[in-house]
Amino acid sequence: MPKTPDYFAGKTIIITGAASGIGRATALIFARERANVVCADINEKGARETAEAVNGKGSQALALEVDVTSRDAVREMTVRALSAFGRVHFLFHSAGAAIRRAKFLEIDDALMQKTFALNVNGTLYAMQAVLPHMLQNKQGVIVNMASMAHRRGGPGSSVHYAAAKGAVVSMTMGVAREYAMQGIRALSISPGPIKTPFQDAAGSSPELVKRFLDDIPMGRFGEPEEIGELVLFMCSDACPFMTADTVYVNGGGGWR
């Protein structure tokens, strides 16, 4: 079914990880659709720059410094979004990272805890913060960022990260199914490598980045906008029967 024209105009999305990469690209796509965009990130300057770019497209934005590993900070993010815009229709939880690369036997408690605090607890807190409000309105779409890594298992460099993203896929599915009769849809996206600062943040070696590239039949990394347009589709009224699953976006591969 076609998306209603102007479907997003005046509706509100919270985007975590909005200072950079996929989160920022998605913020600008929702701004194009005249949505209000709450730009949340631990990087306050980056969040403000994204918010300014959203304003530059004629949409309203709110920049918030938020550490998604803090339950209180995430709750406060939702309170501020509601006091600014009255309602929150969508959550795109993009904040996440591989923290650092490590072989399986080198994964220590600190790395495992940091990886789960960011990717798993962050997703839990964000969903728990917006859901009561969405349930009250009997409407809401949540899109979480998983990764192809959860299918590959992250051999040799990121079993910790792959496991965390596997938890994101499971939690999203559970929430979608628990609230399916109450107007809530929840989906996750599992991208292959996308051209953002993500690999730098993880300290990926040039050899590892080349290995990822060699494994993609299309011979290139994805663009962040190629994920952002999918988030827009998932949040729209074009796919009301779509919930629970993860969608792979990977140029045809990345399975090794």
Q: How far is CA 118 from CA 50, 111, 126, 184, 217, in A?
A: 21, 11, 11, 24, 31
Mark 112-151 with x for binding to ligand NAD (rule: CB under 6 A) and - for no binding. ------x--------------------------x-x----
Residue 141 or 148: which CB sits closer to ligand NAD?
148
Residue 16 or 236: which CB sits closer to ligand NAD?
16
Cβ atoms 186, 177 nearer than 8 A: no
Smallest distance, Å, CB 3 to ligand NAD? 24
68 lies in the site for ligand NAD, by CB under 6 A: yes
Smallest distance, Å, CB 161 to ligand NAD? 7
Residue 145 or 159: which CB sits closer to ligand NAD?
145
State the Cα–Cα distance between residues 129 and 124, nearest whole angstrom.
9
Scanning 14-22, 52-60, 107-115, 126-134 for contacts with ligand NAD by CB under 6 A, the matching segment is 14-22
Binder to ligand NAD among 3, 43, 128, 238 (CB under 6 A)? 43
Smallest distance, Å, CB 106 to ligand NAD? 20
State how far Cα 222 lies from the chain centre.
15
Rg, Å, the chain Cα set: 17
194 lies in the site for ligand NAD, by CB under 6 A: yes
Q: How far is CA 99 from CA 118, 168, 179, 217, in A?
A: 9, 16, 32, 27
35 lies in the site for ligand NAD, by CB under 6 A: no
Mark 198-217 with x for binding to ligand NAD (rule: CB under 6 A) and - for no binding. x--x----------------
Q: How far is CA 30 from CA 90, 179, 204, 209, 248, in A?
A: 11, 25, 30, 30, 21
Q: Which residues are catalytic?
A: 161
Give the number of other Cβ atoms within 10 Å of residue 130's Cβ: 25
Alpha helices in the chain (DSSP H): 21-32, 44-56, 71-85, 109-116, 122-137, 149-152, 159-178, 198-202, 206-214, 224-235
50 lies in the site for ligand NAD, by CB under 6 A: no
Site residues, ligand NAD (CB under 6 A): 16-17, 19-23, 41-43, 46, 66-69, 94-97, 118, 145, 147, 191, 193-194, 196-198, 201
